[in-house]
Chains A and B, each alone.
Chain A
């Protein structure tokens, strides 16, 4: 149902989100962030600025980390989008989710979905990153709670890297 009091151009878009093919009718100017949260109910993707500055809204597009607040879904037809909801297999946590939880890498948890997806992308491209490589890969994601160190350790532990 749409309130159509205001004239807005809408398009039917076919998206592939977390392995599901989904059709949505949305205004063409809506960002991927907005479509995920408002039209698909995928509120696990958060936002901190909606200007591409904080990394909070990071999702994966074809496995690469992208800021969903800067992406228009109209560009994404038939490209694979992964959100935090797609990281869990059924109710089974991804190893990164497991170590983030165990080590206290999520305090308020608001930056956590974006961090997890950026870390997932890193580990897809580099299975054995050093801690410096982890820091570099996540440097576009801000966190105000943790001081980052628990996040670095959680990524390291997820691949069995013990403290150096």
Chain B
């Protein structure tokens, strides 16, 4: 890769307007449901009304004969199972053997309009044999009355346990023996959902043996693979295009039944087919935050240094695997990149239940343990009479070290983030009114997963650049879901070629036209596509500079030729392109990014490693009413170690959005079930914060310039959500002297905790016990030398 001089940056670091702001404020942007093609027909999906049942028969005869119906398909038409993870290929686009949650797809209709399709769905006769449903972690841990949710004849464990993991890093028992004080707590984090404003939508067209799918997906590449598998079409006959995206937050990161179904219907009818989910279907499609019950025990020395930690989690996974095999790891692995834990035992369990499948939501598997650990340490500090901020600070990880579970930590701005929010908020000095409190918490998050979802050694992101006499075009598979990945690509290419972002054309998220990017999940795009774009742009820059140098008669002396302000040396950019095109012919360059192999030398070390971790700290200021239990958040101060802000306007936007979403989870949002059904599958009943519920948010950017990030950048989209939730509960204790060890903190829970306090009982509302779980034998891993930064694979082979 050609290195660029360390000159000043002109575009990177500027708070510039998003490149796609224009179409979005004028209504010109085309989202998936805005697509209308000639002869298009509409699809509706018949979904299970029962949480758990065997399907005895599906009879589409009447539906097929209805006027206006073009096709009806059932499970027999799409029998091949799929799923986002290779280890969890457990879903069918349409199920024909059994249904596992209310909302499980059974049949689909293509008709002249949605109403006809809906009417035809109602005319499909399904005979069920209802089975006892399993609606909680406790129920899933018992032998089922009827049959297990999934046929798991080979399993040696309890049949509704999906995944069990158990690790020990270092000597935990010895650590506890050294400890002066040991405390254990139990916490529960209720599930909640993404609630993107845009309902999922997909349009398929099948012309001349080739399928095109436009979808509101975050992962065009994984949808491409799932379509190829389920439709038995080679990938070169399928094109997946990401339409303008109306919000994901992790909720559009799986391949979905409706995407496969419209494709199949387009192939059968020879017409374009569209399916847009209703809001109720979006609630049942879910893949949102797992409900997680957590048990944590920590031993500390008298000065508050962590000596050992033992953490157990139980995840309610819902009906299918989805990302769950990774989610269970995420509840345990990242504890060690926030606090320096010298000995750590983690046991995790994910169970199947007859609810909508859970998956990744902003923070994927880490907001729940973050909530638990932060409150747990807060309690330990108070038990020992230590200042919680200072006690936590004593345990912060240090930059450029390795954690006990081998995770490699590079840049880390925890100290600076803490200083910023403590100082700005007046956490130590502000006088508290009655019922008024402040709380502090920290967090870390990955800048992209270090391993792909399916095992391969190929790049995770690739960028191609085309330059000719008409300008610059960037091609990249990255999907802009509103976070601004298109803008990041344009910023980087503009920076390297001495242009402005508006001068750069973008072709993104189109599997026919763009090279691979794995998608918008795990906060990976800025880091990975950004690095790929830098490589492609620097190669292009060299071509342009060399052509200009030759014309200027300075030969190979390329260094002194300045690039910037639309000029390359003595020539404007367009002239430089003409010179380079004349000299080299077609001007195309490519760049790619493969994360370093930094996982530890043990099985299961693939979940958690990231090329860099972001860090955040937050202070929440709130008032809690001891008569009503109502909590009102007044202000949130948040500092985020972004590495470097490529566009601070967009970074602040991600931070503010994260804080808002965290407050929704902390105070009101919950995906709760009653009699097998979602308790409130509508936007009115599922409470989320409005303008009136969202307080002032003051954000601070901390730049630590990560050595491997693009210009030093790290992630911003997920990490800032994490500290806000525990900071709310800590502030509640500060305000009323009660602990609510459960999320969301509803007024009822606050009042119950206050009631106990009044009666002289433990001033706490929260789970009382953690179930007995048959965790397997611990995999014991020797910790690394914390200062040895060589990659894990190298060390493992040594």
Q: Provide the bound-state CA to CA distance between A102 and B25, in Å.
A: 10
Q: Is B80 an interface residue, CB under 8 A from the partner?
A: no
Q: Find the A residue at minimum CB distance from B694.
A: A148
Contact of B31 among A3, A46, A146, A152 (CB under 8 A): A46
Q: Which of A9-17, A71-79, A107-115 contacts B (4 or more CB under 8 A)?
A: A107-115
Q: Which of B153-161, B459-467, B604-612, B682-690 contacts A (4 or more CB under 8 A)?
A: B682-690
Q: Is A143 an interface residue, CB under 8 A from the partner?
A: yes
Between A41, A45, A102, A151, the greatest number of chain B beta carbons within 10 A of the residue's beta carbon is seen for A102
Q: Provide the bound-state CA to CA distance between A106 and B481, in Å.
A: 12
What are the residues of chain A within 8 A of B22 when measuring CB–CB? 93, 101
State how many angstroms separate the Cβ of A61 from the closest Cβ of chain B. Answer: 17
State how many angstroms separate the Cβ of A22 from the closest Cβ of chain B. Answer: 17
* Given known contacts A49-B279, A147-B656, A3 and B112 CB-to-CB distance under 8 angstroms: yes
Q: Find the A residue at minimum CB distance from B660.
A: A147
State how many angstroms separate the Cβ of B68 from the closest Cβ of chain A. Answer: 4
Q: Is A28 an interface residue, CB under 8 A from the partner?
A: no
Interface of B is mostly: loop
Would you list which residues of chain A between 28 and 62 have a CB under 8 Å from chain B? 37-38, 41-51, 53-54, 56
Would you list which residues of chain B between 280 and 326 have a CB under 8 Å from chain A? none
0/1 interface trace, chain A 85-115, chain B, CB 8 Å (1 if under) = 1011000010001101111101111111100
Contact of A50 among B244, B279, B482, B658 (CB under 8 A): B279
Q: Which of B194-202, B561-569, B572-580, B582-590 contacts A (4 or more CB under 8 A)?
A: B194-202
State how many angstroms separate the Cβ of A145 from the closest Cβ of chain B. Answer: 5
State how many angstroms separate the Cβ of A50 from the closest Cβ of chain B. Answer: 7
What are the residues of chain B within 8 A of A103 when measuring CB–CB? 649
Would you list which residues of chain B between 658 and 697 have a CB under 8 Å from chain A? 658-661, 682-684, 688, 690-692, 694, 696-697
Between A38, A42, A85, A107, the greatest number of chain B beta carbons within 10 A of the residue's beta carbon is seen for A107
The answer to whether A43 and B197 touch across the interface, beta carbons within 8 angstroms, is no
Q: Is B6 an interface residue, CB under 8 A from the partner?
A: no
State how many angstroms separate the Cβ of B117 from the closest Cβ of chain A. Answer: 11
What are the residues of chain B within 8 A of A147 when measuring CB–CB? 656-661, 694, 697
Contact of B692 among A45, A97, A102, A139 (CB under 8 A): A139
Q: Find the B residue at minimum CB distance from A135.
A: B691
Q: Which of B46-54, B206-214, B245-253 contacts A (4 or more CB under 8 A)?
A: B245-253
Q: Is A20 an interface residue, CB under 8 A from the partner?
A: no
* Given known contacts A104-B649, A142-B683, A93 and B694 CB-to-CB distance under 8 angstroms: no
What are the residues of chain B within 8 A of A104 when measuring CB–CB? 17-18, 21, 649-650, 652-653
The answer to whether B27 and A146 touch across the interface, beta carbons within 8 angstroms, is no
* Given known contacts A44-B27, A46-B197, A97-B26, A107 and B684 CB-to-CB distance under 8 angstroms: no
Interface size on B, residues (CB 8 A): 60
Q: Provide the bound-state CA to CA distance between A24 and B253, in Å.
A: 39
The answer to whether A53 and B21 touch across the interface, beta carbons within 8 angstroms, is no
Would you list which residues of chain B between 14 and 38 have a CB under 8 Å from chain A? 17-18, 20-31, 33-34, 36
What are the residues of chain B within 8 A of A106 when measuring CB–CB? 18, 21, 24-25
Q: Is A21 an interface residue, CB under 8 A from the partner?
A: no
Q: Is B67 an interface residue, CB under 8 A from the partner?
A: yes
* Given known contacts A83-B27, A100-B21, A143-B197, A108 and B247 CB-to-CB distance under 8 angstroms: yes
Would you list which residues of chain B between 626 and 643 have a CB under 8 Å from chain A? none
Q: Is B712 an interface residue, CB under 8 A from the partner?
A: no
Contact of A112 among B24, B484, B657 (CB under 8 A): B24
What are the residues of chain A within 8 A of B691 when measuring CB–CB? 134-136, 138-139, 141, 148, 151-152
Q: Provide the bound-state CA to CA distance between A84 and B34, in Å.
A: 14
Q: Is A127 an interface residue, CB under 8 A from the partner?
A: no
State how many angstroms separate the Cβ of A150 from the closest Cβ of chain B. Answer: 6
What are the residues of chain A within 8 A of B68 when measuring CB–CB? 3, 5-6
Q: Find the B residue at minimum CB distance from A44.
A: B27
Q: Is A81 an interface residue, CB under 8 A from the partner?
A: no
Q: Find the B residue at minimum CB distance from A8.
A: B115
What are the residues of chain A within 8 A of B338 when measuring CB–CB? none
Contact of B483 among A43, A107, A135 (CB under 8 A): A107
What are the residues of chain B within 8 A of A54 when measuring CB–CB? 197, 683
Q: Provide the bound-state CA to CA distance between A45 and B482, in Å.
A: 18
Q: Provide the bound-state CA to CA distance between A18 and B115, in Å.
A: 28
Contact of A88 among B26, B29, B33 (CB under 8 A): B26
The answer to whether B249 and A144 touch across the interface, beta carbons within 8 angstroms, is yes
Q: Provide the bound-state CA to CA distance between A147 and B245, in Å.
A: 18
State how many angstroms separate the Cβ of A143 from the closest Cβ of chain B. Answer: 7
What are the residues of chain A within 8 A of B688 when measuring CB–CB? 142, 144
Contact of B18 among A47, A101, A139, A142 (CB under 8 A): A101
Q: Is A156 an interface residue, CB under 8 A from the partner?
A: no
The answer to whether A146 and B657 touch across the interface, beta carbons within 8 angstroms, is yes
The answer to whether B482 and A107 touch across the interface, beta carbons within 8 angstroms, is yes
Between A83, A104, A142, the greatest number of chain B beta carbons within 10 A of the residue's beta carbon is seen for A104
Q: Provide the bound-state CA to CA distance between A145 and B661, in Å.
A: 8
Q: Find the A residue at minimum CB distance from B656.
A: A147
Q: Is B116 an interface residue, CB under 8 A from the partner?
A: yes
State how many angstroms separate the Cβ of B685 from the closest Cβ of chain A. Answer: 9
The answer to whether A48 and B649 touch across the interface, beta carbons within 8 angstroms, is no
The answer to whether A51 and B279 touch across the interface, beta carbons within 8 angstroms, is yes
* Given known contacts A44-B26, A108-B246, A109-B29, A135 and B692 CB-to-CB distance under 8 angstroms: yes
Q: Is A67 an interface residue, CB under 8 A from the partner?
A: no
The answer to whether A48 and B198 touch across the interface, beta carbons within 8 angstroms, is yes
The answer to whether B198 and A108 touch across the interface, beta carbons within 8 angstroms, is yes
What are the residues of chain A within 8 A of B23 when measuring CB–CB? 109
The answer to whether A142 and B27 touch across the interface, beta carbons within 8 angstroms, is no
* Given known contacts A54-B683, A104-B649, A144 and B27 CB-to-CB distance under 8 angstroms: no
What are the residues of chain B within 8 A of A145 when measuring CB–CB? 197, 247, 482, 653, 657
Q: Provide the bound-state CA to CA distance between A44 and B28, in Å.
A: 6
What are the residues of chain B within 8 A of A152 when measuring CB–CB? 691
Q: Is B278 an interface residue, CB under 8 A from the partner?
A: yes
The answer to whether B198 and A5 touch across the interface, beta carbons within 8 angstroms, is no
Contact of A144 among B247, B278, B697 (CB under 8 A): B247
The answer to whether B27 and A113 touch across the interface, beta carbons within 8 angstroms, is yes
What are the residues of chain A within 8 A of B198 when measuring CB–CB? 46, 48, 108, 110
* Given known contacts A54-B197, A108-B245, A144-B661, A150 and B653 CB-to-CB distance under 8 angstroms: yes
Q: Find the A residue at minimum CB distance from B29.
A: A109
* Given known contacts A84-B26, A108-B198, A143-B197, A148 and B67 CB-to-CB distance under 8 angstroms: no
Q: Find the A residue at minimum CB distance from B21.
A: A101
The answer to whether B27 and A84 touch across the interface, beta carbons within 8 angstroms, is yes
What are the residues of chain B within 8 A of A87 when measuring CB–CB? 26
- Ordered by A's residue number, 11 sampled pairs between the chains whose C-beta atoms are within 8 Å are A5-B67, A5-B112, A6-B67, A43-B36, A50-B279, A108-B246, A109-B25, A116-B25, A135-B691, A147-B656, A147-B661
Q: A104-B21, A136-B692 are in contact. List 16 more A-B contacts (CB 8 A).
A: A43-B31, A46-B198, A48-B197, A49-B682, A54-B683, A85-B26, A93-B25, A97-B25, A101-B25, A104-B650, A108-B198, A108-B482, A110-B197, A139-B691, A140-B690, A142-B688
A-to-B contact residues, CB < 8 Å: 3, 5-6, 37-38, 41-51, 53-54, 56, 83-85, 87-88, 93, 97-98, 100-104, 106-113, 116, 134-136, 138-152
What 6 A-B pairs are tightest by C-beta distance, nearest first? A44-B27, A108-B482, A109-B24, A147-B660, A110-B246, A84-B27
